[in-house]
């Protein structure tokens, strides 16, 4: 009598090479996602993220002023910023989750470089940057810096509504 393998015995004998390779591939992909999500967040990455977020929100506020046909402003402080809307001759916070008041991480700060100094005591809740319904904005420069790195970002806005974000590396 010889030994015969039945069909069910062959199926339960083990995994094929392809099955093992698929499992290894899936594990590799999952490990890659975990490493990327944990990541090595450097100080310059945090600065870049905040600078891009601020740039995007300023650009969006300019577009929103056109679409809503309302004047919108940005109040820029060293450690936070918020967007305001002009309603009935009064600046009120823009009630929108996108334009909510935002605080910056402790090591990052904003420095508005204006032509004339702004007196916060006299002008409470008056925006530093104004986005008009015509697409024009008040010219401005905001320097976005970090205590941890010498690099900084410079956000510039011109009267005709052009915005630019430049990364400056200090040697």
Reading the block at residue 2, the tokens are 């010889």
Give a yes or no: residue 66 inside a domain: yes
pLDDT at 29: 81
Give a yes or no: residue 125 inside a domain: yes
Q: SS3 for 166?
A: strand
Strand ranges in the chain using DSSP code E only, listed in sequence order: 72-76, 80-87, 90-93, 102-103, 108-112, 129-131, 140-146, 152-157, 163-168
User: How many domains are contained in the chain?
Assistant: 1
Give a yes or no: residue 73 inside a domain: yes
pLDDT of 102 over the 90 cut: yes
pLDDT tens per residue across span 55-73 = 999 999 999 999 989 999 9
pLDDT tens per residue across span 105-144 = 999 999 998 665 555 554 568 999 999 999 999 999 999 9
Range of the domain at 116: 43-168
Give a yes or no: residue 98 inside a domain: yes
CATH code of 117's domain: 3.55.40.10
């Amino acid at each position: 009598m010889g030994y015969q393998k039945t069909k069910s015995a062959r199926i339960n004998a083990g995994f094929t090479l392809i099955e093992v390779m698929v499992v290894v591939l899936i594990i590799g992909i999952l490990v890659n996602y975990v490493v990327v999500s944990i990541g090595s967040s450097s100080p310059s990455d945090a600065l870049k993220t905040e600078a891009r977020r601020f740039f995007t929100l300023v650009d969006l506020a300019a577009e929103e002023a056109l679409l809503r046909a309302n004047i919108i402003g940005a109040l820029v402080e060293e450690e936070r910023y918020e967007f305001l809307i002009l309603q009935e001759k009064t600046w009120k916070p823009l009630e929108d989750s996108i334009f909510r008041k935002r605080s910056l991480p402790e090591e990052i700060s904003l420095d508005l470089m204006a032509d004339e100094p702004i007196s916060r005591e006299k002008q409470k809740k008056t925006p530093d940057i104004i986005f008009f319904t015509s697409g024009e904005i008040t010219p401005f420069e905001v320097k976005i810096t970090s205590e941890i790195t010498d690099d900084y970002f410079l956000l510039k806005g011109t009267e005709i509504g052009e915005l630019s974000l430049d990364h400056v590396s200090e040697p």
